[in-house]
Amino acid sequence: MVILTLNCGSSSVKYQVYDWSNKKVMARGIAERVGTQEAVLEHNAAGKEPYRLAKPMPNHQTAIETLLDVIVDPWQGVISNIQEVKAVGHRVLHGGQRFGTSVLINPQVLQTFRELQDLGPLHLPPNIMGIEAAQKVLPNVPHAAILDTAWHQTMPPTSYIYAVPYQWYTEYGVRRYGFHGTSFLYTAKRAAALLHKKPRETNLIICHIGNGASMCAVRDGCSLDTSMGLTPLEGLVMGTRSGDIDPAIINFVCRKAGLSSQEVENALNKKSGVLGITTKYIDRRDVVQAAEQGDTLSQLALEIEAYRIKKYIGAYTAALGRVDAVVFTAGVGEMGPQIRERALSGLNNIGIVLDHRRNEISRTRNAETRISADHSPTPVFVIPTDEELVMTEDTYALMQGTYKVHTEFTYSFEDCNYVNKEREEALKKELTKRPELSEVIISSCEG
């Protein structure tokens, strides 16, 4: 059985083709610059050379049709017939308060997403376009929505209610929703396996640090609090998003610069964060390189980003009381030792002691590592996330009628013997080039 997962952005479509019977990724890729004549599809199939196709993709339906053509292509493909795809899982940004779990998509569910577009104006429209496009191309298979916000529906009112007029919540749904839910779910379950605990026995602080970034306080295996809010703008310093600011800044800049509130909001989403501080960089690798070469604004951006992470770690430590582990994940969290170092320095007094060599060595997406010192009361793990696997397992369970809320559902990756075959093969090659990586790898069965 083959399950396809899709993650549709405003101008991109990420995809994965998964062989459920053999529990193996067959192919993954991304179509970028969708909506233009310069669109490009990059396709990576297991055991084959990477493939790149440049062709106009005027809309998401064309992009999905293109990727489907590639996965059945005699030379580049991984299946012989599109009928082998038995289900499609869609990443959807926002489920509001309507959905606390993943859900099969029917006309009523799709209409609910349309009604919620004001809560996710940058992400929900392309999510919806992707669903509609995929349903046209694959009309006879079940389609499932895996919602970024669902994981956080366990938060108590003290975490999600803002101190604003209460009718804003009751009438307009103004509250903290949180995002990156599939990533938090995966890393929370994996952290429990590394700790040799059941998920419901664990208290965690998870740092999902990428271009978009957020943190989650996990109590008894469930989301207690998170840094993103009504939208993905609140919280940490991100690639182009400001994170936490004084709300009065918006009207202040409107008056001073003669901008509309929408223009200021766009600037906070697309021209702020690391880009706003450095004035030219988004990719943290560029920021780190520039900082090492003496660029003062890049140095400042790294310090501000790390300081914000450190403040949230402190706040969530206070909220949780007992912290079983701190986890870093996502692109920067997995590959950015410089930011991890800054964020964790000086936290010995709350039981977090970094091992500097382990932290420097830990730069991989193919293994789970420990970067804290042996004597650190609180371990610090780096766990490469796998949102696509969560999407795939949810989709399969939904189509089989066995799916339940995550507290009553067992994922394959909760088992200490779980192995990601794709990453296992990649790790073997990586170790031949970086044998020191073996020093920091931690096995969930061995501890």
Contact 130, 144 (CB under 8 A): no
pLDDT digits (tens, 9 = 90+) for 108-149: 999 999 999 888 887 888 899 889 989 998 999 999 999 999
Q: So what's the pLDDT on residue 357?
A: 97
How far lies 376's CA from each of 219, 347, 354, 410, in Å? 21, 10, 7, 30
Q: So what's the pLDDT on residue 120?
A: 80
Q: What is the C-alpha to C-alpha distance for residues 35 and 59, in angstroms, rounded to an integer?
A: 5
Q: So what's the pLDDT on residue 108?
A: 95
Position 447 pLDDT exceeds 60? no
Mean per-residue pLDDT of the chain: 94
Position 444 pLDDT exceeds 70? no
Would you name the residues annotated as active-site residues? 148
CA dihedral (314, 317, 321, 326) positive or negative: negative
85 bridge partner residues:
2
Higher pLDDT: 96 or 348? It is 348
pTM of structure: 0.95
Average pLDDT of the residues in 397-420: 93
Domains of the chain: 2-147 (3.30.420.40), 196-383 (3.30.420.40)
Average pLDDT of the residues in 160-172: 97
